[in-house]
Amino acid sequence: MELKVGVVGATGIAGQQFLTALDQHPWFKVEVLASSPRSAGKTYEDALKTQEGRINWWQNEPIPKRFKSMVLKQAKDIDTSALDLIFTAVESDAAKELEPIFAKDIPTISTASAYRMEDDVPLLIPGINSEQMSLIAHQQEKRGWKGFIVPIPNCTTYGLASSLAPIDREYGVKGVIMTSLQATSGAGRNGGVLSLDMIDNLVPYIPGEEAKVEKETQKILGSLGGGVSVTPADFGVSCTCTRVPVTDGHTETVFVATEKPVDIENLKKAYADFNTGLKELPSAPESLFTVHEDPFHPQPRIDRDKDGGMSTHIGRMRIDNVMGGVKFVMLSHNTKAGAAKGAILVAEELVIKGIIRSN
């Protein structure tokens, strides 16, 4: 199987992760790269160059060779008839305008927030709430589209919602309090975080982030109401989101009040045994969760890239006597599981379910 894909926003931080992850992908072949009008018409490598000639490539892996000389298209001029699928990694304003243009014709998997909270749009984490993909047919019918939009959650929501799923199944979640320590790469290239903000410092506010994480978590763990929308989970989520001087990997301290008392050993087993049923997908991790017994882990620099950056790490799990439940420290990779590779995993799941097909 080989599906032809386009990557929109290919020059940005999440876009670069897409190219790294798709370069040797067994199912998806990148045929088109697109960016803003500023970069359109340039080769990919030239578009990354600053005025001083420095190449703004932020990945540990080198730029995949075959992309360097590809000429970037202007996003709105992409010929969708030559593609089976589009990945978008642009800011929300651009996504709002561009994604319906693509979705009219072909599946559009997005890292942006623009359509996440629309009623007919699923907010998918493979293996956690795959049942929400039944909204896709409804979306197509309602909007008269051949394709569809499926966004992935915000990178901070991704780890939180994933880590709550086993607790909710075993004990019932009553309420959540979370404080994040988010990596600098999560702000994108122009996200308002300067190097001077981040050296010897942390920033205690990320505009818009807390409300997104609270609402998205409730949608992801909600229930399908008659197949046409999601009824949000009825537990409250309260977040404090901060930016810290870490390159990649969002850490979150999480307190969960539960309906039933938690048995820590049983919960560890529930994480270890959590079966997504998706192990055969090329981007799926060996295990969705990694439980750490060493109280000095998880640490972003050391743990984030394990299992291809696709595992959600849980450490310091213990009973919380104030909230009446459990508390732990969680880490997930914001530009891998929480962005590009997470979006690719969604596409892979939609392929094996027959929802994404060759044109």
Give catalytic residues, as residue numbers: 155, 250
Region of 84-92, 136-144, 213-221, 294-302 interacting with ligand NAP (CB under 6 A): 84-92
CA distance 163 to 289: 8
Region of 91-99, 133-141, 292-300, 347-355 interacting with ligand NAP (CB under 6 A): 91-99
Distances (CA, A) of 1 to 26, 283, 355, 356: 8, 16, 14, 12
Q: In sequence order, what E strands does the chain have?
A: 3-8, 28-35, 73-74, 85-88, 107-110, 148-151, 173-182, 223-225, 229-231, 236-243, 250-258, 289-291, 312-320, 325-332
Q: How far is the CB of 189 from ligand NAP (least distance, A)?
A: 4
> Residue 57: CA atoms inside 13 Å, Cβ hemisphere, count?
19
Q: Which residues contact 224 (CB under 8 A, 6 or more apart)?
A: 131, 132, 134, 135, 230, 231
Determine, following the binding rule CB under 6 A, whether residue 357 of this chain makes contact with ligand NAP. no
Pick the binder of ligand NAP from 3, 6, 7, 12 (CB under 6 A). 12
Amino acid at 145: W
User: What would the x/- binding string for ligand NAP be over residues 205 to 224, using CB under 6 A?
Assistant: --------------------
Determine, following the binding rule CB under 6 A, whether residue 36 of this chain makes contact with ligand NAP. yes
Determine, following the binding rule CB under 6 A, whether residue 45 of this chain makes contact with ligand NAP. no
Other beta carbons within 10 angstroms of residue 289's beta carbon come to: 21
Q: Which of 355, 350, 348 is nearest to 25 (CA)?
A: 348
In terms of CB distance, is 32 or 326 closer to ligand NAP? 32
Q: How far is the CB of 108 from ligand NAP (least distance, A)?
A: 13
In terms of CB distance, is 270 or 337 closer to ligand NAP? 337
Pick the binder of ligand NAP from 11, 20, 80, 312 (CB under 6 A). 11
Determine, following the binding rule CB under 6 A, whether residue 14 of this chain makes contact with ligand NAP. yes
CA distance 6 to 82: 9
Determine, following the binding rule CB under 6 A, whether residue 22 of this chain makes contact with ligand NAP. no
CA distance 261 to 172: 9
Q: 């969708």: which residue's tokens?
A: 80
Pick the binder of ligand NAP from 90, 103, 330, 350 (CB under 6 A). 90
Region of 89-97, 126-134, 258-266, 277-285 interacting with ligand NAP (CB under 6 A): 89-97
Angle at alpha carbon of residue 292, lines to 286 and 295, rounded to 5°? 165
Instruction: For residue 64, give the DSSP letter.
Output: P
Size of the site for ligand NAP (CB under 6 A): 30
DSSP bridge partners of 135: none
Q: How far is the CB of 326 from ligand NAP (least distance, A)?
A: 27
User: What would the x/- binding string for ligand NAP be over residues 98 to 117, using CB under 6 A?
Assistant: -------------xx-----
Determine, following the binding rule CB under 6 A, whether residue 94 of this chain makes contact with ligand NAP. yes
Pairing of strands 85-88, 107-110: parallel
In terms of CB distance, is 107 or 186 closer to ligand NAP? 186
Q: Which of residues 179-198 bind ligand NAP (CB under 6 A)?
A: 185-186, 188-190
Instruction: Report residue 141: phi and psi, to 5°.
Output: -65, -45
In terms of CB distance, is 139 or 182 closer to ligand NAP? 182
Angle at alpha carbon of residue 206, lines to 202 and 212, rounded to 5°? 140
In terms of CB distance, is 11 or 139 closer to ligand NAP? 11
Q: Which of residues 333-352 bind ligand NAP (CB under 6 A)?
A: 334-335, 338-339
Site of interaction with ligand NAP (CB under 6 A): 8-15, 35-36, 38-39, 75, 89-92, 94, 111-112, 155, 185-186, 188-190, 334-335, 338-339
